[in-house]
Amino acid sequence: MDGSRIGDAQNTEESLLAQGYRKYTGEDIDIYYNKDICAHVGNCVRGNPAVFEVGRRPWIIADNGGADDNERVINTCPTGALKFIRKN
């Protein structure tokens, strides 16, 4: 799944927030998460537990991983509950 898009449209902050995603800000990449569509498959926490750690608040810290690795992990989310916007 392409975490930079919803359907055929490129992600925008406005569209993601309007659809119920929560923003987790990073220096090079912002990560967005929608709890209402998450199926808790766990690809994120297995993919990079330094970025995605369920027992921590906030549970997503984008700067604990590189933008390329974050994008790779987000693209493994089967439900689209994770999205991203690169800043560069």
**Cα-Cα-Cα-Cα dihedral of 80, 22, 88, 67, to 10°?**
-60
Helix and strand numbers, DSSP H then E, in the chain: 3, 5
pLDDT in tens, 20-78: 999 999 999 999 999 999 999 999 999 999 999 999 999 999 999 999 999 999 999 99
Q: How confident is the model at residue 7 (pLDDT cuts 50, 70, 90)?
A: confident
**Domains within the chain, CATH numbers bracketed:** 5-86 (3.30.70.20)
The CA distance from 34 to 37, in Å, is 6
pTM for the structure as a whole: 0.94
Which carries the bigger pLDDT value, residue 5 or residue 25? Answer: 25
3 pLDDT higher than 90: no
- Please identify which residue in the block is written with the tokens 């927030």: 17
